[in-house]
Structure 1
């Protein structure tokens, strides 16, 4: 492409830079020219200086850093003596913390509430407030273009690493007015606030659903029309209503295994091949897609899955304490069932949706874990699954009523999750437009 063509493709009022096309009045300063301090957090072994949270100083590490946020899982504290001996890594409100090793380039802003904390092996950037608004820089470093460019200055082979010296020379696109930087950061912060509120609401709805499952699937709470008439009885599963049964799952469920399709049969396009890797927690995951010839739809009709079918993994079936089980939607079809994945088929005395929720209960998962003890990889068969006990309302009507309540809760959570994904997508679009000046706010 000639330079004339490149020039013609740049809109009026914009210019080409190493970070792409930006407004002509935007600058491209180095981080070193914008900061009054850029240094490392403490590098070395601090474990002998750990203290209790009652009398210690908060000690932030790379795993506590999230995009423009923090998590405090596994947070550590250090002694005041250690802190005083390493004041270089004492944090102030507005500082940026960038992960040096691990999730390289991930950046967050230190809020005033964390001022006075110390940190370990993080790059601390303290900006001259007359030149730049640190939140704007943080959003740029966390953007796709920012992270991509940071990868270009990584060092190391097995363990990638960011050096302060390289970060000092890293350039960023910057509006000339602090007011514009603040306006952009505020717009993205508002998007973050919406995302966070949706995440919190989803977490709350999931907790409510878990509580409902614990009560409804054990008979502790009965729905209207199914009230307790004869009290409770003691079983191997604990107390259950007198009018419920405790049965081996094989009495009400058939675990229909998939076919051992050959890897040589894989084709570039055709019918989707549902494998163990595609079964997530309550969701079919198509991150890794393999295809079988479309002709297999006719040849292997008994393995062709339908909308509403429930499948579970038989190898490595538990992830983070939860069963890898999912219900198929129209978006998952057509697909063929592979070996080591089982389709749940219920008999006439059981409702499929009720069983779908029963199999997710911790007692069932714990029984599976015990049955798989010693297997490598963790592995379970239909015969073993069939011996695990399930509590079962004696009428299909009660099973259906319970499943309906839980299905409605799932539908609400799914709707909120879709709204969350949409909000995240909108934010990504905003970052791509605002952080390079394609859209101007002031």
Structure 2
């Protein structure tokens, strides 16, 4: 298979004479001469899902053996729908419609423009449409072509109680259609990257599961590392560290700040000041309480509703405490959270947190093993993210004809 590239910035083209040889200007931009511009409704049959029962949540229609996919199932599928969140019984199917295995679905309400192919027969509500490509259209090419247009579909959506788009806007939507052999070549190239991304996701999930199992064994003493023995002790966080909150607010952050700024979320902002330099664990007192933990060793600042755990006792390893918090703090946090408009944590919850700890050397050895696992997962995630970025770039080039597969 040969690859041809026309090294031209098509977005900057102005007149007909700017179009390079082998290309033509159309109402949707510059495309190869042998490509066509077609309405979506001309190259595929679009059929809206159905669920005519009212009220929609009447339990007498649900709980059978018939899959009934929702917009969320498509959005969360990453293109391959292999699970479903609801089922219909026979009475439910009578007010819905069953679509065949390998149907391409498209979301038209709430989440606009997400696509996925179902690996099973399924019914669906009218917030989804089923798309059946015509004989001169490769399904996987159309899947990627639609996926690449998500932002444009969102721009066409109508804002009511929620975003929605109808068939009157989708059927006349224009797409650049390559010849069938090139559609298949494009689909194959992008599918290869999809397979690599899926394999990396599977490997990352496996490594996370291994780490979770290791934490359950190593942080409880159920499995001892070679060369270590002796009893573990119950320790109280307030006895082996100093816990306090910061003095900064969100308005203190700086987009290109010099230091990390820990706020009430998983996102780490930037700031131009630092109030601590050293090893610490940062835990928000509001927002995602008991589920967000940051370990840092260096200069940083932190929000007035973020707790800093630092100044660890000589017989206590900070990274070991970090993993203990990850493992068991959530249950205690939820039990002791202050119920208000936003759930929040108070200082005593941290001070009174108890954990099992061996001698310092074994704490350090356990923390090193778990840190190595984290580093491996981070490396795999970076590789996955890079592959996803490569695929996004390839989609743009291949689906516009800037790079040809001929």
* TM range, smaller chain: 0.7 to 0.9
Residue in 2 that maps onto 1:15: 24
Aligned with 1:401 (options 341, 365, 378): 365
Aligned with 2:294 (options 326, 332, 341): 326
Point out 4+ residue stretches in structure 1 off by more than 6 angstroms.
none
CA contact (8 A) 1:41 1:120 kept: yes
SS in 1 for 2:38: coil
The Cα offsets for residues 14-56 of structure 1, whole Å up to 9 and x where unpaired, read as 2233433221211110011112x32210043354453444xx3
Matched, 1:152 2:145: no
The Cα offsets for residues 371-395 of structure 1, whole Å up to 9 and x where unpaired, read as 11424422223333111211111x2
- Residues 224 and 15 of structure 1: is their aligned pair in 2 closer, same or farther, counting only changes over 3 Å? same
1:343-354 paired onto structure 2 within 5 Å: 343-345=308-310, 346-354=312-320
Residue in 2 that maps onto 1:384: 349
Residue in 1 that maps onto 2:165: 162
1:51-66 paired onto structure 2 within 5 Å: 51-53=62-64, 56-65=65-74, 66=77
1:21-420 paired onto structure 2 within 5 Å: 21-35=30-44, 37-45=45-53, 47-48=57-58, 49-53=60-64, 56-65=65-74, 66-70=77-81, 72-74=83-85, 76-83=86-93, 86=96, 89-111=97-119, 114-115=120-121, 117-121=122-126, 122-129=128-135, 131-143=136-148, 146-176=149-179, 178-227=180-229, 243-261=231-249, 263=251, 270-272=257-259, 274-277=261-264, 279-280=265-266, 285-286=267-268, 289=269, 291=271, 294=272, 297=273, 303-305=275-277, 309-318=280-289, 323-328=291-296, 335-345=300-310, 346-362=312-328, 364-393=329-358, 395-420=359-384
SS in 2 for 1:99: strand
- Residues 404 and 73 of structure 1: is their aligned pair in 2 closer, same or farther, counting only changes over 3 Å? farther
5+ long unaligned stretches in structure 2: 1-11
Separation in structure 1 between the aligned mates of residue 250 and residue 80 of structure 2, nearest angstrom: 46
- Residues 270 and 153 of structure 1: is their aligned pair in 2 closer, same or farther, counting only changes over 3 Å? closer
Separation in structure 1 between the aligned mates of residue 43 and residue 13 of structure 2, nearest angstrom: 34
Residue in 2 that maps onto 1:237: none
Separation in structure 1 between the aligned mates of residue 397 and residue 194 of structure 2, nearest angstrom: 16
CA contact (8 A) 2:240 2:316 kept: yes
**Deviation for aligned residue 1:262:** 8.1
Separation in structure 2 between the aligned mates of residue 304 and residue 388 of structure 1, nearest angstrom: 23
Residue in 1 that maps onto 2:9: none
**Deviation for aligned residue 1:352:** 0.8
CA contact (8 A) 1:26 1:175 kept: yes
CA contact (8 A) 1:258 1:340 kept: yes
Of Structure 1 and Structure 2, which has the larger fraction of its residues in strand?
Answer: 2
Separation in structure 1 between the aligned mates of residue 263 and residue 157 of structure 2, nearest angstrom: 35
Separation in structure 2 between the aligned mates of residue 152 and residue 158 of structure 1, nearest angstrom: 16
How many residues are paired up? 388
TM-score for the superposition, normalised by structure 2 = 0.87
**Deviation for aligned residue 1:94:** 4.7
**Deviation for aligned residue 1:335:** 4.0
**Deviation for aligned residue 1:441:** 1.5
**Deviation for aligned residue 1:305:** 4.5
**Deviation for aligned residue 1:95:** 3.2
Separation in structure 1 between the aligned mates of residue 82 and residue 336 of structure 2, nearest angstrom: 35
TM-score for the superposition, normalised by structure 1 = 0.80
CA contact (8 A) 2:283 2:308 kept: yes
Question: Considering only aligned residues, what root-mean-square deviation do their CA atoms show, in Å?
Answer: 2.5
- Residues 92 and 179 of structure 1: is their aligned pair in 2 closer, same or farther, counting only changes over 3 Å? farther
Separation in structure 2 between the aligned mates of residue 372 and residue 391 of structure 1, nearest angstrom: 22
Aligned with 1:429 (options 389, 393, 399): 393
CA contact (8 A) 1:109 1:135 kept: no
The Cα offsets for residues 213-256 of structure 1, whole Å up to 9 and x where unpaired, read as 111111111000114x5xxxxxxxxxxxxx11112111112123
**Deviation for aligned residue 1:340:** 1.5
